[in-house]
Amino acid sequence: MTAAHHATLKPWVKHFPPSSSPGEPGAATVLFPHAGGAATALRPLATALSTQGADTFVMQYPQRADRLADPAPETLEALADELFAAADWRRAGALRLFGHCMGALVAFEFARRAESQGIPVPEVWVSAGQAPWTVAGSPPAPLADHEVLADMVDLDGTDPRLLADPDFVELLLMAVRADYSAFNNYSCDRNVRIGADVHALGGSDDHRISEDMLRGWEFHTDGAFTCTLFDGGHFYINDHIDTVAELIGRG
């Protein structure tokens, strides 16, 4: 990654430079967190990926952390536009994308924008997320405070001790509502495809995103499709960081 490219990065794009000998010159991996998640949620995966010799970037969405005052985009498409404009990705070479939960949809939309600009995207890794064409027909995500908190508990991705902290809960609600509102406004036809290979990942015990739902992603690629399940629930990834990083790195 060149110094010129670094100069184009928004400060809220978290960069994890290679910590080992560089792999393919110009290769880069871009990570997209789950709904309500800050960039720190994917720090362990970014760290693991950076040891494989490629530049890794984690996106920070508005309404959290160092973007607390930034307005929330009304749609996932608008969020993807904003994230794509955060750097001159043409200077990064080929892009590998990874998104967890709602982040899988954002990664898909980001890939569409990259491909439209002639930026090579060989692979998109979609983790514990439903396929784009299924969103419009699914129940809307909750927006009332008590329903959002119940949803967070059900997903089992937030430390219960943090949910007992009123200050943390206030910030969490702000971030989740922003993301859920954008999710509720999202729609995509089943015939919308990207050229990138799509690799779906999920937890075998995830009661929210089943294997059949993961396989719905096959409609959205003109390339190869794979589906891999790991032991665990919706946040299976927390117990399989190294394995997931190896899969992405090998891709």
Mean pLDDT score across all residues of the chain: 93
N-terminal to C-terminal alpha carbon distance within the chain: 20
pLDDT band at 45 (very low <50, low <70, confident <90, very high): very high
State the average pLDDT over residues 116-132. 97
State the average pLDDT over residues 12-34. 81
Q: How many domains does the chain contain in total?
A: 1
pLDDT band at 4 (very low <50, low <70, confident <90, very high): very low
Residue partners of 134: CB distance under 8 A and separation at least 6: 213, 216
State the average pLDDT over residues 9-27. 78
The CATH number covering residue 75 comes to 3.40.50.1820
Pick the more confident residue, 4 or 246: 246
Q: Please determine, for residue 3, whether its predicted confidence score (pLDDT) is greater than 90.
A: no
Q: Please determine, for residue 163, whether its predicted confidence score (pLDDT) is greater than 90.
A: no
State the average pLDDT over residues 109-132. 97
Residue partners of 228: CB distance under 8 A and separation at least 6: 199, 200, 201, 202, 247
Give yes or no for a contact between 237 and 45, defined as CB atoms under 8 angstroms apart. Answer: yes
Burial of 44 (0-12, 13-18, 19+ CB in 10 A): middle
Pick the more confident residue, 8 or 101: 101
Give yes or no for a contact between 149 and 169, defined as CB atoms under 8 angstroms apart. Answer: yes
Q: Please determine, for residue 25, whether its predicted confidence score (pLDDT) is greater than 70.
A: no
Q: Please determine, for residue 95, whether its predicted confidence score (pLDDT) is greater than 70.
A: yes
Q: Could you list the residue range(s) of the whole structural domain that residue 140 is in? A: 3-250
State the average pLDDT over residues 87-98. 94
Q: Please determine, for residue 56, whether its predicted confidence score (pLDDT) is greater than 90.
A: yes
Separation of alpha carbons 126 and 118, rounded Å: 21
Q: Is the pTM of this model over 0.85?
A: yes
Give yes or no for a contact between 106 and 80, defined as CB atoms under 8 angstroms apart. Answer: yes
pLDDT band at 22 (very low <50, low <70, confident <90, very high): low
pLDDT at residue 159 in the model: 80
At 65, phi and psi to the nearest 5? 45, -130
Task: Please tell me the least confidently modeled range out of 17-26, 141-150, 153-162.
Answer: 17-26
Supply 174's token pair.
């702000």
pLDDT of 174-200, one tens digit each? 999 999 999 999 999 999 999 999 999
